[in-house]
Structures are given as C-alpha cells and as structure tokens.
C-alpha cells in the first residue's frame, strides 16, 4: 500500500459495489463482514490511542463521525414516531371514510324510501283530486255561477 492509497476508500466501500446482485443472505453476510471490519478498526485505533501513537488531533475525523451518528439517532427515532403517527391517522381516516360511505348509503336508501312514499301520497292525492273534480262537475247546473 502506498502512502497515497491509504487515504482512498478501502475494501469496505469497494465491497458494496455489487451488493445489488447478492441474495438476501449474501447481503447480510457482506454487511456483517463490513461491520466486523469497522469494529476491528475501532479497536485498533483505540489501542493506538492507548499507546500514544494517536492523539485527539489525529482522531478528530473519527470523533466527528461518532458525533454525527449520535446526532442522527434521535432524528431517526423522531422520524419513526412521525411515521407511526401518520400510519395511525391513515387507519383512522380509512375507518372514517368507511363510516361516511355507510352513512351515505343509508341516506340514499332512506331518501329513496321517502321518495316512493311521497310518490304514492301525491299519486293518491292527484287521483282523489280528479275524482272530486268529476263529482263537482256532475253536480253543477249549467248557467249557475
């Protein structure tokens, strides 16, 4: 390894290049291997810090990475809570939508029943009115006002 290649992304990053071709079990094994490599790297860095070959100035990038991960955890939890809230609201809205549909269906059914009832009543009233008019016209004497 040359001095310049030490600063390029290493085997962990390059091993992810063909991850989309792996089976689920292969993906799990690859990510476990990468996680093991990262853990081993942190252990080695810790040993170098203990020996004094590395100090805070050297490990600033690692501390920044750890801080970034720590900061992202609460945000991730907050986003999960928001997602759960949205899922609950969606289920609630689906239930309300179903209830409203059933209420609308009942309303239409009831209005059709009322329509039929009034149609009968108006039909009966019209028939009675015509019958009464006939009876009245029979009882009239021509020329009387």
The structure tokens listed for 120 are: 């009968």
- Split into its structural domains, the chain has a count of 1
- Domain of residue 24, residue span: 1-54
pLDDT given at position 91: 95
* pLDDT for residue 47: 92
The rounded distance, in Å, linking the Cα atoms of 135 and 126 is 14
| Residue 104 is assigned to a structural domain of this protein | no
Secondary structure in 3-state letters for 74-106: HHHHHHHHHHHHHHHHHHHHHHHHHHHHHHHHH
Residue 24: inside a domain, yes or no? yes
- Please give the pLDDT value at position 106: 96
pTM confidence score = 0.44
Residue 91 lies in a domain: no
Q: What is the mean pLDDT of each run of 10 residues along the chain (145 residues)?
A: 53 82 91 88 90 89 86 83 94 96 96 91 80 72 53
> What is the predicted pLDDT for the residue at 4?
53
The verdict on residue 113 lying in a domain is no
Give a yes or no: residue 68 inside a domain.
Answer: no
H-type alpha helices, the chain: 11-15, 24-51, 60-139
Residue 16 is assigned to a structural domain of this protein: yes
- Is residue 110 situated within a structural domain? no
Report the pLDDT value the prediction gives residue 66, as an integer from 0 to 100.
85
């Amino acid at each position: 390894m040359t001095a310049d290649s030490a600063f390029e992304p290493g085997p962990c990053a390059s091993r992810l290049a063909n991850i989309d071709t792996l089976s689920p079990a292969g993906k799990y094994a690859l990510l476990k291997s990468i996680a093991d490599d990262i853990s081993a790297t942190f252990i080695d860095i810790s040993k170098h810090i203990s020996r004094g070959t590395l100090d805070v100035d050297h490990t600033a990038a690692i501390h920044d990475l750890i801080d970034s991960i720590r900061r992202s955890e609460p945000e991730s939890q907050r986003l999960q809570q928001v997602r759960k809230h949205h899922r609950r609201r969606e289920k609630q809205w689906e239930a309300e939508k179903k209830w409203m549909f059933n209420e609308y269906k009942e309303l239409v059914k009831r209005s059709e029943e009322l329509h039929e009832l009034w149609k009968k009543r108006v039909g009966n009233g019209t028939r009675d009115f015509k019958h009464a008019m006939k009876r009245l016209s029979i009882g009239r004497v021509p020329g009387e006002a």
